Amino acid sequence: MKRKDGQPMTLILGVIGSDVHIIGTKILDFAFSQQGFRVVNLGIMVSHDEFVKAAVETAADAILISSIYGHGELDCRGLREKCVEAGIGDIPLLVGGNLVIGKQSWDETEAKFKAMGYDKVYPPGTSTETAIRDVKEILSPKALEVFDETAQ
């Protein structure tokens, strides 16, 4: 997917906090790259500052965050505010994985993350196709290509 200037859309991807579960981000990196996105994969144990710095340096179009170890609620808090401080307050933030510890309803979990400023919140097991479709939809106003719902 390309910007109106012809450059590929750039996504910052990483595993937030002290989480070391990397497989999901490797899958997302591959899937989004196959769709023509430029993916900057920061790897594991990524801090807020690292996400924001990478987004600013690359003029990123979105930040995608993974958290599998259950502490996403703590690790993700404050990232939107860091983005605002850096002048990228409107950048789309997408987060997914096993985001909380204990048995909480998905609606409750999603509401918590939306209140923290996340645009999309995904439960464990979400397909790459769903994430790709959502990113394309969110970024389509900035894109050169027309969004095609049938694209995988």
- Of 5, 19, 29, 148, the catalytic one is 19
Q: Which two tokens stand for residue 55?
A: 């987004």
* 21 part of the active site: yes
Largest CA distance in the chain: 45
State how beta strands 38-41 and 120-122 pair.
Answer: unpaired
Q: Which helix (H) or strand (E) holds 132?
A: helix 128-139
CB-CB neighbours of 8 under 10 Å: 16
- Of 5, 21, 75, 107, the catalytic one is 21
Question: Which residues are the active-site residues?
Answer: 19, 21
